[in-house]
Structure 1
Amino acid sequence: MINVVTNEDVICIDGNVQRSGIKVGTVYSFLVDGMLIDTGTQCLEAELIPIYEHQSFDLVTLTHSHEDHSGLAPWIQRHKNVPIYVHPKGINICAQHCPYPKYRQLTWGVRTPFDALPLGDEIQSRSQEWKVIYTPGHADDHVSFFHEQTGRLFSGDLFVTTRTKVIMDSESIPIIINSIRTLLRFDFQSLFCGHSGYIKDGKSMLKQKLDYLENLSGEVGKLHKEGCSIDEIAQMLFPKKYPIIAFSEGEWDSRHIISSIVSSIE
């Protein structure tokens, strides 16, 4: 199911993914000044194509190469004939056929290969110049886009929620913290998030996430110093076992939060 709304002259395309009538996730694409930021996921292709057929845009920029953000890039490349940009670390990933586990294929669909161009430090849309900010932690090729004059920040998957409970084994909480600190140095208020959409008080919310992660890191460090194991710390701080842990066969787990923090201490 797709909902399209406009916030601050940004067209927000909200893709609601359901399986057997159960909502499994929401993914946003954004269209601003002739630039499409992220493309949505392949499993919503039938609903997204009519939107993209009737919208005018000159280029696509990806916050990162994950399939829920790049799923429609192959179709756009074939049918819209516009350039698609990603951080240089994501170019080879985009060129691969479906380079992700089966459970993610079942969730988001099968993304076929496409050719991406490398992002630099800035990107030009029709009338606006955007700063490209390297913000790794969730993915090695993750970037955010900032337009200084309007104060709009597009943060991909860096925010999502103020209180992170599970992460992928490839993610790093200390690196995410550094990336959030980087973004908070910029003068923005509204934030456009790849999974939470438009957040009017985005800077305040991102600061809340930073405070949570910093406090969590301090607590993990204290327990680690006291001799607690990673599993013991995870059980104390995150006793709930979320369904995605079993569904992903452990690629997502609260334990990865602890281990990424501990690895930065040792």
Structure 2
Amino acid sequence: MEWENIAVPSGYLISWKKALNLRRMSMRIDRYGEVISVQSEVERNGFTMSVHVFYIDGMLVDTGASRMLEDLKEFYEEVPIEFVSITHPHEDHTGTAAWLLREKSVPIYIRDTAIPQCRTEADIPAYREMIWGERAAFDPSPFGETIQSDHHTYKTIHTPGHEENHLALLDEENGRLFSGDLFIHPKPKVIMEDESVPVLMRSIRKVLEHDFEEMFCQHVGYIRYGKAALKKKLDYLNEVSEQVREMYKEGRTLEEMNNELFSDVPAIVPLSDYEYDSRHMIRTIIEDAAID
């Protein structure tokens, strides 16, 4: 690998080979062009999920969960972090933000309407704290319409659906999207209670209006053909929405729809005490159909 090809803010001396060769049982570090991807994995009661933080040109995208902190500290000490961009305030994206602010004194940016909840310790269900750990209070600054590193400019695109303050970061010049939790899976079977399938679909359509190819997802990692992957997810959600709307017109109950469309129950459903559930997908589609 040609480490010198990575854009580094002027005035910094760093061993990139050392940074990318950091290895622990629960951490993996990879490079995709200019982007460094740091992956950690959590496993609790049959539920397993990867979490990624990304680094490029002095910018850190999201901060992972607090349970990742011991793994991430060495990486944070090795790379010249100039600022942090957070896609949304969930604890698996903001978990080490307080440490970064306290120990590295770097500015942290998030959507303006998410700032009040970041200034207090997160009040999260017990199962989420068990999986991700606590999220300490921190004091971020608001994004503008764009944010700029030394060599790149990113457009901040409001993409609610997964979370009301969710943003995606788009480098239009290089066709690169940091998608936060907009993607996660091409064919989701469950969502959280406060998510919305129709709102998520509108956000995906908004992003697809832009020109990009590569996508960096906080739970999947690097997706070479990211725009195609998002289109595949939108097609799937369209198909599910049409099925639900037809069943709704036929007078089918939510339980009948759920049994037919989503008979398999993922481990996260009982683990979350049904905060994650396929019923929330159906319910939000029905609510949107009723409004129409």
Calculate the TM-score normalised by the size of structure 1: 0.97
Runs of 4+ aligned structure 1 residues displaced above 2 Å come to none
Partner of 1:131: 155
Partner of 1:41: 65
Shift of 1:83: 0.6
The 1:23/1:52 distance shift into structure 2, 3 A limit, reads: farther
Question: 2:30, 2:271 → 1: CA distance?
Answer: 32
Question: 1:258, 1:23 → 2: CA distance?
Answer: 23
Please, which of 199, 205, 218 is the counterpart of residue 175 of structure 1? 199
* 1:221 equivalenced with 2:245 (yes/no): yes
Shift of 1:19: 4.0
Deviations 1:99-125 (A, max 9, x none): 211100000011110001111211111
Shift of 1:188: 0.5
Please, which of 230, 236, 258 is the counterpart of residue 212 of structure 1? 236
Please, which of 38, 41, 53 is the counterpart of residue 13 of structure 1? 38
Question: 1:189, 1:11 → 2: CA distance?
Answer: 17
Kept after mapping to 2: 8 A contact 1:68/1:108: yes
Deviations 1:151-180 (A, max 9, x none): 100000010110010000000000000000
| Partner SS, residue 38 of structure 2 | strand
Partner of 1:166: 190
Question: 2:160, 2:193 → 1: CA distance?
Answer: 14
Deviations 1:158-205 (A, max 9, x none): 101100100000000000000000111111011000100000011111
Letter in 1 for 2:223: I
* 1:98 equivalenced with 2:122 (yes/no): yes
Question: 2:113, 2:273 → 1: CA distance?
Answer: 26
Kept after mapping to 2: 8 A contact 1:67/1:108: yes
| Partner SS, residue 220 of structure 1 | helix
The number of equivalent residue pairs is 265
The 1:170/1:182 distance shift into structure 2, 3 A limit, reads: same
Kept after mapping to 1: 8 A contact 2:47/2:268: no
Question: 1:236, 1:88 → 2: CA distance?
Answer: 41
Question: 1:8, 1:263 → 2: CA distance?
Answer: 43
Kept after mapping to 2: 8 A contact 1:93/1:99: no
Question: 2:128, 2:156 → 1: CA distance?
Answer: 27
Q: What are the residue-to-residue correspondences of 1:110-121 with 2, within 5 Å?
A: 110-121=134-145
Question: 1:159, 1:237 → 2: CA distance?
Answer: 21
Kept after mapping to 2: 8 A contact 1:24/1:107: no
Percent identical: 41
Unaligned runs of 5+ in 2: 1-25
Specify the structure having the higher radius of gyration (Cα).
2
Partner of 2:7: none
Partner of 2:93: 69
| Partner SS, residue 170 of structure 2 | strand
